Homo-oligomer: A and B are copies of this chain.
Amino acid sequence: MELLEKRILKDGKVFPGNILKVDSFLNHQIDVELLNEMGKEIKRLYDGTGVNKILTIEASGIGIACIVAQYFGCPVLFAKKSKTKNIASTVYKTQVESFTHGKTYDVIVSKDFIGEGDKVLIIDDFLAEGNALLGLIDLCNQAGAEVAGCAIAVEKAFQQGGKRVRDLGIRVESLARVESMSDDSLTFVK
């Protein structure tokens, strides 16, 4: 998506350790107009697939998911990072290793809000090693819900996440796919 690629080139910042900071418009400060354009594009890509629920993970997926959901006319469900050791029997639980924080989280969704018959579009801001997506897919599988696919703002295509998820036969659409990045250059997969 050209609009997002241009914005990354203009306002994104590369830091050592393959960190791409887009916190001026995507995951700290949020440009809601840009999110709306992303929502239109994701709706175009997944039009006619029968999506009836959007699933994301706190925190930075939530804003994108809510704006995108307007184009699908469906609710958002966000998986929560659990703070307690005692997980209730009323939730599905999985584990997600965070690339950014070097830590593994228990991630939960309530059994009340996802189940058989649901067709789920999974949304997140970044796709790097794929751990968050694989966790969200696992939650859908536990619930017996169908995964229509994933829609990602920024995929680091030089990491393994995209391949890991696509190898499961799951559709992944990334609006910007970063091929390589360094201090003074950033290129996209064409």
Closest to A70 in B: B32
Given known contacts A28-B113, A63-B65, A67-B67, what 14 new A-B pairs fall within 8 Å (CB)?
A24-B112, A28-B80, A29-B75, A29-B77, A29-B113, A30-B62, A30-B76, A30-B77, A30-B78, A32-B69, A32-B74, A35-B66, A62-B66, A83-B103
B-contacting residues, A25-82, CB 8 Å:
25, 28-33, 35-36, 58-59, 62-63, 65-67, 69-70, 73-78, 80
Considering the complex, give the chain B residue whose CB is closest to the CB of A83: B101
Q: How many chain copies?
A: 2
Which residues on A are within 8 Å of B, measured CB to CB?
A: 23-25, 28-33, 35-36, 58-59, 62-63, 65-67, 69-70, 73-78, 80, 83, 101, 103, 109-110, 112-113
